[in-house]
Amino acid sequence: MTSAVPTQLPCPVKAQLPNRASAIAIYRHGPATPLSYAELDQAISALNLPQIPSGEVLAVILDEPLSLIIWLLACLRQGIIFCPIDPRLTEPEIQQRCRHAGIKYYVSANKYKVAGLTKVSPRVTPEAIPEAKPEAIPEQPKPGIATEPPLHFDLNQPATLVFTSGSSGSAKAAQHSLGNHYYSALGSQLLIPFTSNDCWLLSLPLYHIGGIALVFRALFAGGSIALGSRATQHDLACFPVTHASLVPTQVYRLLQHANDLGGLSLRYLLVGGAALTNTLCQQLAEQPFTSFASYGLTEMSSQVATVKITPHTVQPLSYEILPYRQVNIEQQGIMLSGPCLFMGYRQHGRLIAPPLPFNSQDSGRITGQTLQVTGRLDNMFIAGGENVQPEQVEQALANFAMVKQAIVVPIDDPEFGQVAVAYIDWQANAAPTRLAQLCREQLPPWQRPKHFLAWPQWPGLKPNRKALAHQAEQILTKR
């Protein structure tokens, strides 16, 4: 890392054209050939959006990842703020988000109509993207032919608007600058180096900060991106993937095929989005690739701290705080600042800058340069006068042999105010009586779940705790 602080950055795609125009930018499934940097640049340049003023937000309601990457980079070049929205949301949900953030323009598949917003055309489709023909693109410009000067961006330029997961409340529209994404990618390189010879598997949706951060990491380094499917093992076998980012659920599914993971090009696996169980940590430590667990959040442009998983790794994890992130503890709360911190929340067209330092609403402690995260402050509830941190109870439950993983939520109780209810993903057959006995033996009374429920399903990468608490109340009312 250099001491000089840049104020501008070249377009990460155009920066590759003088010497690496035919280098692979995107790997695709099926009969489609890989897309070179020159062809990716061509597709981006084809998107001209004069009807959207610079500085406005464009809601992009698409699910095809290549189209989303092209829209992201086209918006960046034209000074438009790229806002990906989960196309699985209902039209009223999409409309509510757009209205709350003050978004005026959107692009979507034909089935979506967002009242009160201007729909933008054309829509990029994979069929509209030229087939890659690397042999037709010279690596070096021919003598005497002027090349197009590289396009540069100001680091302070607003780049993206990403809705938080809303896992513990309403989703908020977090606005990031290009500099936020740049320093996030730069700090990530400390533990997980990524070069122009590497390939990152895009296995996270681009309407989550983890997906967007992955794209910027790859493109800033001039590397490749492989467009993933829902079958991670298949993706790893099909593409020359060296790096992958997964959530614990994806890791669990991948490790069901652990015997088939030898011989892959995968070198680094980054796991985030939720806590890893001790069992998953031990299984990852046995794999032929190096795994890392990450603590991060949308407001910090993805990663804040990361830890290498070894055979000795157990919860609670001791994360190494990455460069360009400032982390402090105030009244047990994790407070954040630095160049990765987002610009603010967008509300009704106005940007509300965050107070500094930013309160993550996570609780934790720091020892030297290591951070332990103990839970979400806004998940905490009071049972019989005692504070209950659900994440701590979940870790204790996951340490019992019959439990794969657990989610703990509060429900109202006439005697104690609130009590814990645990959704359990069982290793084999459900054994609630035995689990209740172990809880009585090893947990204090206020942490013991009063009820055990079957493991739920939820849309997206993260469970919505408020929704699961409401669901628990409904289930138990019917009993």
pLDDT at 133 over 90: no
User: What six digits make up the tokens of 310?
Assistant: 């070894």
pLDDT at 238 over 70: yes
Q: Is residue 261 part of a domain?
A: no
The residues, ordered by sequence, that sit 6+ positions from 136 with a Cβ below 8 Å of its Cβ are: none
For residues 424 and 476, what is the distance between their CA atoms, to the nearest angstrom? 15
Q: Is residue 417 part of a domain?
A: yes
HEC-encoded secondary structure of the chain:
CCCCCCCEEECCCHHHHHHHCCCEEEECCCCCCCEEHHHHHHHHHCCCCCCCCCCCEEEEECCCHHHHHHHHHHHHHCCCEEEECCCCCCHHHHHHHHHHHCCCEEEECCCCCCCCCEECCCCCCHHHCCCCCHHHCCCCCCCCCCCCCCCEEECCCEEEEEECCCCCCCCCEEEEEHHHHHHHHHHHCCCCCCCCCCEEEECCCCCCHHHHHHHHHHHHCCCEEEECCCCHHHHHHHCCCCEEEECHHHHHHHHCCHHHCCCCCCCEEEECCCCCCHHHHHHHHCCCCEEEEEEEEHHHCEEEEEEECCCCCCCCCCEEECCCCEEEEECCEEEEECCCCCCEEEECCEEECCCCCEEEEEEEEEECCEEEEEEEHHHCEEECCEEECHHHHHHHHHCCCCEEEEEEEEEEECCCEEEEEEEEEECCCCCHHHHHHHHHHHCCHHHCCCEEEECCCCCCCCCCHHHHHHHHHHHHHCC
Orientation of helix 178-188 relative to helix 209-220, angle to 10°: 70
Q: Which residue has the higher pLDDT, 345 or 166?
A: 345
Q: Is residue 388 part of a domain?
A: yes
Taking only the tens place, the pLDDT of each residue in 59-90 is 999 999 999 999 999 999 999 999 999 998 88
Burial of 466 (0-12, 13-18, 19+ CB in 10 A): middle
Buried b (16+ CB within 10 A) or exposed e, 143-171: eeeeeeeeeebebebbbbbbbbbebbeeb
Provide the sign of the torsion angle of the four alpha carbons 452, 458, 462, 464, taken in this order.
Answer: negative
Taking residues 447-460, report their average pLDDT: 92
Q: Is residue 185 part of a domain?
A: no
Q: Which of 264-273, 394-403, 457-466 has the lowest mean pLDDT?
A: 457-466
Q: From the CB of residue 273, how many other CB atoms can be counted at a distance below 10 Å?
A: 21
Q: Is residue 455 part of a domain?
A: yes
pLDDT, position 165:
72
Q: Tell me the one-letter amino acid at 477.
A: T
For residues 16 and 218, what is the distance between their CA atoms, to the nearest angstrom? 12
Question: Are the CB atoms for 279 and 404 separated by under 8 Å?
Answer: yes
- What percent of the chain is modeled with pLDDT above 70? 92
Taking residues 444-463, report their average pLDDT: 90
Taking residues 212-235, report their average pLDDT: 95
CATH number at residue 390: 3.30.300.30
What is the residue range of 456's domain?
380-477
Number of domains in the chain: 1
User: What six digits make up the tokens of 434?
Assistant: 């035995």
Taking only the tens place, the pLDDT of each residue in 274-291 is 778 888 999 999 999 999
Question: Are the CB atoms for 42 and 191 separated by under 8 Å?
Answer: no
Orientation of helix 37-45 relative to helix 65-77, angle to 10°: 70
Question: Are the CB atoms for 110 and 124 separated by under 8 Å?
Answer: no
Taking residues 248-268, report their average pLDDT: 89
The residues with which 15 forms a beta bridge, in sequence order, are none
Q: Mean pLDDT over all residues of the chain?
A: 90
Taking only the tens place, the pLDDT of each residue in 288-345 is 999 999 999 999 999 999 999 999 999 889 999 999 999 999 998 999 999 999 999 9
pLDDT band at 31 (very low <50, low <70, confident <90, very high): confident
Among 207, 141, 215, which Cα is nearest to 184's?
A: 215
pLDDT, position 414:
87
User: What six digits make up the tokens of 44?
Assistant: 């981006």
User: What six digits make up the tokens of 42?
Assistant: 């061509």
Q: Which of 1-15, 144-158, 259-273, 371-385 has the lowest mean pLDDT?
A: 144-158
User: What six digits make up the tokens of 407?
Assistant: 């989610």
Q: Which residue has the higher pLDDT, 90 or 210?
A: 210
Q: Is residue 86 part of a domain?
A: no
pLDDT band at 260 (very low <50, low <70, confident <90, very high): confident
For residues 75 and 160, what is the distance between their CA atoms, to the nearest angstrom? 9
pLDDT at 425 over 90: yes
pLDDT, position 142:
41
Q: Is residue 302 part of a domain?
A: no
For residues 159 and 172, what is the distance between their CA atoms, to the nearest angstrom? 16
Three-point CA angle 250, 181, 241, nearest 5°:
40
Taking only the tens place, the pLDDT of each residue in 88-128 is 888 888 999 999 999 999 999 766 788 889 999 765 554 45
Q: Is residue 360 part of a domain?
A: no
